[in-house]
Structure 1
Amino acid sequence: MEVGDGLVEQPSSSPPPPGPNPTPATTSQHPTVGPEPTWTVDEAIDEIGFGPFQLVMLCVTGLAWMGDAMEMMLLSFLGPAARCEWGISPRQEGMLTSVVFVGMLFGAPTWGQIADWKGRKLAFFCTTLWIFVAGLASSFAGSFDELCAWRAIVGFGLGGVPVAFSVFMEFLPSGNRGVWLTIIETFWTLGSVAAAGLAWAVLPHHSWRLLLQLSTAPLALLLLLIPFVSESPYHSAAVGDYATAKATLTRMAKANAPRNQPVALPKGTLVSPLVFQSSVARDEGAGRIATLLERGQRKQTLMLWFIFFAVAFSYYGVVLLTTEVHVDSNAARGDGRKGGTRGGDDAVACTGHGSPDLNYGAYRDIFVSSTAELPGLVLAALSVDLIGRRNSLSSSMALNVVPLLALLGYATFPIWLETLALFLSRAASMWAFTVLYIYAPETVNTSVRATAMGMGNAVARLGGMLCPLFAVEMVESGRMTGAIAFFAALACVTSTVAFFLPIETAGKRLDQVDETGEERHGDVELTYGATEPTNKK
């Protein structure tokens, strides 16, 4: 049936053509419809290339990552502010962080299904609106319980922020996709730095409620821009809307074309690409999870789950610890005001408007430590191909041990040395997180890649939920040495586990690495309407 210029609707339930499956030599050629050649979305995007269209998409989707980081960074200031406002205990303060991760744990799979069902653009808009409204509402909370409820709702929305990552990814040409997916991570760092700077500007003079309200600014801007975002052409083609997919690709080509140059898409008919045959029941989520725990894959899966947990625990732990250390050290400034000694009691100095009363140096040090993610990203970019994924993960966590052990001497440290140790720990944690998100999806086949990443993220959320018990409650209960020692020990164990991971994926193609880390050999046969190669022995 004709759908548009040169486009033919492909029934999703069409049976494969009769006869043998295509051989590897012919799989790169797409079937023709009549006399016309055919082309796919990925071929068109590769031909269009990277240009102004993708740069605009980078900025728009980057605002989502920036808003996400600001909401997470605010937790390190919101807990002490709640103590000033309602006199809550250290355990309750830790709960304020944990409820956000509980919300994310349930939000991530929900928004992912909506993005596949109704489209990336709708899910992107809904998650942004959800976080904006809930974040704004939490600034008007009348009690601690109400604040926790609203922050849990914020967390549910934050679980869908990775949809923005998918939106950007599905507009990138294959040749430099990895580079630009690394660059978008800088928006997270920008959000962390912005949140620290905003807290520095607001909290000494105004209520924490104003801080929450101002932190929704990137989301407000994003809501104004999302209506101009195009639906992913991959999703449009996948649901059979070839006319919309071609219209989007045409806009992209016009935006990227040099001045006075003609705009042209590949000649022929747009079709869905050939995909791999899978031995896994693709419609059964439990079956996919079971595949991750099959013999040969089980060891890799369990080791990665532990690393997901530990890296998230370390990253969010050092973010919270940075503020807690400086809140506790606030009383040691010799001004006679009440506050906790460094790692001592759980009191905190407060302003007359209900905000934590940190001095200039404390805000400066927290701000500086938030910039540590930038060298962490640089280390990840330099190491991931040079020394490999496993060695990068192992090295990043080994580096994390050094500043954490140094922090055990915090009682005799000058403030600048304490800040340097926290800076290095945060840089190492960001290095590890970035490499992990590159490495983990490379270790499994296409048929279970999304499931594997979903499970890894779920385990990471558990790490985020539990870290306040150490980074907040133990510190404020006078057991700071024990908390830091635990973080150091966990980093040491994680470095060792990463070193012995069975698979190295550096320089290997996707779907070509087996459980030993070697490339699969043998004839690979493909069929229509499938998701993964099967080796023909």
Structure 2
Amino acid sequence: MVLTEEKSLAEAFDAIGFGFFQVRLLIIAGLGFMADSIEVGVVTFLEQKALQEWPEVQGWSKNALSMSVFGTKLLGSCFWGSLSDHLGRRRAFLLANVFLLTTGCLSALAPSYVWLVVARGLVGLAIGGIVIPFDNLAESVPEKYSGSVCYAIEYFWTLGSLYSNGLAALVLEPLGWRIYLLLTALPILLACLGYFFLEESPMWLLDRGFDEEALEVLRRIGAVNGKDLSQMTLVSYAREVDPSCKEVLAPELRRPLWSLGIIWCLGLFGYYGAALANGLLFTSASGTVDYGETLFTSSGEIVGITCAMLASWYVSSAVLQPWLYLVSCLACLGILAVHSAGSNVTVLGLLAFLARCGSMGGVSVTWVLTPAAFPTHIRSTAHSVLYLAGSVGALLATAWPSSTSLVVMMAAYAGANLICTAVAQWQIQRLAERSFDSLVSDLHASDVERRARSSLGRESRASYSTWAGPSMSRPSLPERQ
């Protein structure tokens, strides 16, 4: 008779360790995560090229292209997270990326400016699904690596920004904007293919009560990493009914939701503002873009992420967050001062580099803190709600009238980063330390502890295999009494 030992999810991941599976997951998730930052570069360059092809577009219509993308992100943010919490991380990831790939390619075929705006609006709708790979990654690595891996995926965000900017420098002039759009969809195509190498989040499966499926996934992950989990079973847990989205507003979650919501909104307002301002800072009066300067300032994001990740090994991310937003605030004020005194391209480039460094570092910390603040059954829903707040900030960053001066815009971005600094500091002083421990708690919790935290109980449920597809079609373990 073979004896098995019951383990928590944290113990299972510790036994699996960090290996090839997690690296592969990071790459696949990162390819999907690149979508939003690629779109920033696309909007920056596409607006100029589209107006050259359709010079009759005037007034507010010039802003329609960028506003359509960031506006529909609001709608996409309303349902992708909830879909991920109900259908699973893996399937929602595929749906979001296939939709994104399709609409991205269709926009390259747009016969008119109106159709281009509509197509890019559909792209924005799909981009709302980028929270899914981030949450899946956070739930699928050993606890001690979780923070570092979540920072590491932010490099793909910056890689997307560098990819779109570098691609523009290589192909936009000789081949045109339509080929440029097709090539910017390449990382999403690779993400779609990566679906076949993904596993469902074991944490999500266990939380939904699919004990056998979660154990089988862990065993397959272990096999990829060269670890045998055949002698292990998991602590069982299931809910009586599907959780309601209203649980996001539970009293114990309300304060972190509001504080993170403010930071998401204003932090992404400042980030997208700094990114889009590059087009104004480094475009000559004749309309020629200095691609070298835009690439240099974009690389500041790599420094920001690296500083945030290294610093998080010594201080908590919550403590780090206000300092990074403060750096971005001061850099924006510096750009404002230098530009007002007479543009010095070298100094402006350095200040824009710092602005991207601070804003990307701050946003990275905010991304890392978000899944840690909410329990598994509503993690993607809460993350999606906060991404919605961030999309509002991104939309506001694109809504400036064409006559708005750079001084006004940079002052607004500096103010937004200053508010983020203040709210992040308030989080440290006023929120309980356990406010960002939900992810860790779900990893370690016993059945009794999880039941005590839940507002829902257990009842009979349909087998996961009735809807999960062939790769998950397995019988569930009997329920433990």
- TM bucket (normalised to shorter chain) is 0.7 to 0.9
5 Å-filtered alignment, 1:121-270, equals 121-239=90-208, 241-257=210-226, 263-265=227-229, 267-270=231-234
5 Å-filtered alignment, 1:89-488, equals 89=58, 91-239=60-208, 241-257=210-226, 263-265=227-229, 267-273=231-237, 283-286=243-246, 288-289=248-249, 291=251, 297=255, 301-327=257-283, 330-331=284-285, 339=286, 349=287, 357-358=288-289, 362-384=290-312, 386=314, 388-408=316-336, 409-410=338-339, 412-442=342-372, 452-470=382-400, 473=401, 476-477=402-403, 479-488=405-414
1:439 and 1:505 in contact (8 A); partners too: no
- Tell me, in whole angstroms, the C-alpha distance in 1 between the residues paired with 2:382 and 2:313: 22
1:39 and 1:267 in contact (8 A); partners too: no
- Tell me, in whole angstroms, the C-alpha distance in 1 between the residues paired with 2:439 and 2:33: 31
1:312 and 1:463 in contact (8 A); partners too: yes
1:164, distance to aligned residue in structure 2 (A): 1.4
SS at match of 1:195: helix
2:131 and 2:380 in contact (8 A); partners too: no
2:85 and 2:378 in contact (8 A); partners too: no
1:61 and 1:164 in contact (8 A); partners too: yes
Indicate the residue corresponding to 1:510 in structure 2.
Answer: 437
- AA aligned to 1:78 is L
1:232, distance to aligned residue in structure 2 (A): 2.9
- AA aligned to 1:316 is Y
Structure 1: stretches of 5+ with no match in the other structure:
7-34, 258-262, 332-338, 340-348, 350-356, 514-523
For structure 1, which segment, 159-168 or 484-493, has the greater mean C-alpha deviation from structure 2 after superposition? Answer: 484-493
State which of 22, 27, 30 in structure 2 corresponds to 1:59. Answer: 27
1:389 and 1:505 in contact (8 A); partners too: no
Q: 1:490 to 1:164 in 2, by over 3 A?
A: closer
- AA aligned to 2:61 is Q
Indicate the residue corresponding to 1:14 in structure 2.
Answer: none
- Tell me, in whole angstroms, the C-alpha distance in 2 between the residues paired with 1:232 and 1:442: 15
SS at match of 2:149: helix
- Tell me, in whole angstroms, the C-alpha distance in 2 between the residues paired with 1:46 and 1:387: 23
- Tell me, in whole angstroms, the C-alpha distance in 1 between the residues paired with 2:8 and 2:331: 50
- Tell me, in whole angstroms, the C-alpha distance in 2 between the residues paired with 1:135 and 1:453: 24
C-alpha RMSD over aligned residues:
3.3
1:383, distance to aligned residue in structure 2 (A): 3.5
Q: 1:83 to 1:448 in 2, by over 3 A?
A: same
SS at match of 2:173: coil
Q: Give the number of equivalent residue pairs.
A: 446
- Tell me, in whole angstroms, the C-alpha distance in 2 between the residues paired with 1:287 and 1:372: 38
- Tell me, in whole angstroms, the C-alpha distance in 1 between the residues paired with 2:379 and 2:216: 29
- AA aligned to 1:531 is R
1:86, distance to aligned residue in structure 2 (A): 1.5
For structure 1, which segment, 155-164 or 238-247, has the greater mean C-alpha deviation from structure 2 after superposition? Answer: 238-247
- Identity among equivalent positions (%) equals 27
1:82 and 1:93 in contact (8 A); partners too: no
1:455, distance to aligned residue in structure 2 (A): 2.9
Q: 1:238 to 1:160 in 2, by over 3 A?
A: same
- Tell me, in whole angstroms, the C-alpha distance in 2 between the residues paired with 1:511 and 1:216: 35
CA offsets, 1:379-437, max 9 Å, x none?
A: 21244464544542322222223222222232622222221111111111011111222
- Tell me, in whole angstroms, the C-alpha distance in 2 between the residues paired with 1:226 and 1:268: 27
- AA aligned to 2:31 is L
- Tell me, in whole angstroms, the C-alpha distance in 1 between the residues paired with 2:360 and 2:432: 20
For structure 1, which segment, 106-115 or 378-387, has the greater mean C-alpha deviation from structure 2 after superposition? Answer: 378-387
1:203, distance to aligned residue in structure 2 (A): 1.7
- Tell me, in whole angstroms, the C-alpha distance in 1 between the residues paired with 2:176 and 2:85: 41
Q: 1:505 to 1:432 in 2, by over 3 A?
A: farther
- Tell me, in whole angstroms, the C-alpha distance in 2 between the residues paired with 1:499 and 1:419: 29
2:374 and 2:438 in contact (8 A); partners too: yes
Higher helix share: 2
- Tell me, in whole angstroms, the C-alpha distance in 2 between the residues paired with 1:243 and 1:171: 17
1:389 and 1:504 in contact (8 A); partners too: no
- Tell me, in whole angstroms, the C-alpha distance in 2 between the residues paired with 1:291 and 1:446: 17
2:82 and 2:245 in contact (8 A); partners too: no
